[in-house]
């Protein structure tokens, strides 16, 4: 086995693919399918937050207010130094410009778009999702607020309402330039 100092880093920077969207939009599911299809690793930024703090995401959300959680999320996002990776983010990542600028520097950002009704249906079965929501805010409020931010920061959107989910993966791949995967 070659020592680490003898392993050459790729001379060409290979961008990441970043997925943003509401909780329940399918960032984890689509991210894992996409990563498997293109033979790249998958990173869930919520899991990175959990690993950084040694606590479940819901416990972190419960122990902080919305603004502090958004600062924590941004700090963890800005620590990511990667290439050639599919990254699924938390739905609230779009609230911090510095986090989004960092993600933009890593590669194209894909918005997984689904209607509010489907968000409500998908998250109803998991009350422990760790959603960053302010006092007196409803899911409909944050959907409206975030939708504009997802569209602002994304390079393109793919609808993830339909089955099979492979259709969303194919939508993402169809939007990438032909030379995207060339090293």
Cα(164)–Cα(144) distance, rounded to whole angstroms? Answer: 26
CATH architecture of 15-124+132-175: 3-Layer(aba) Sandwich (3.40)
Domain ranges of the chain: 15-124+132-175
Question: Is residue 49 within 8 Å of residue 132, measured between CB atoms?
Answer: no
Cα(146)–Cα(132) distance, rounded to whole angstroms? Answer: 11
Return the ∠ at Cα 148 (arms to 69 and 177), rounded to 5°: 100
From residue 169, give the alpha-carbon distance in Å to each of 5, 23, 43, 82, 161. 36, 18, 16, 21, 12
Tens of pLDDT along the chain (183 residues) come to 656 666 666 667 789 999 999 999 999 999 999 999 999 999 999 999 999 999 999 899 889 998 999 999 999 999 999 999 999 999 999 999 999 999 999 999 999 999 999 998 888 766 556 576 777 888 899 999 999 999 999 999 999 998 788 999 999 999 999 888 875
């Amino acid at each position: 086995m070659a020592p680490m100092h003898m392993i050459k880093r790729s001379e060409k920077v290979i961008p990441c693919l970043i997925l943003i969207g509401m909780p329940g939009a399918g960032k984890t599911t689509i991210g894992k399918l996409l990563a498997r299809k293109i033979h790249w690793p998958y990173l869930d930024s919520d899991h990175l937050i959990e690993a950084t703090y040694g606590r479940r995401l819901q416990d972190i959300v419960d122990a902080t207010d919305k603004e502090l959680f958004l600062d924590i999320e941004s700090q963890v996002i800005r620590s990511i130094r990667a290439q050639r990776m599919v990254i699924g983010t938390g739905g609230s990542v779009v609230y911090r410009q510095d986090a989004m600028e960092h993600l933009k520097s890593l590669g194209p950002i894909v918005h997984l778009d689904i209607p509010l009704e489907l968000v409500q249906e998908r998250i109803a079965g998991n009350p422990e999702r760790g959603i960053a929501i302010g006092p007196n805010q409803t899911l409909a409020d944050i959907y409206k607020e975030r939708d504009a931010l997802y569209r602002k920061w994304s390079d393109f959107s793919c609808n993830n309402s339909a089955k099979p989910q492979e259709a969303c993966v194919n939508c993402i791949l169809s939007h990438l330039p032909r030379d995207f995967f060339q090293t």
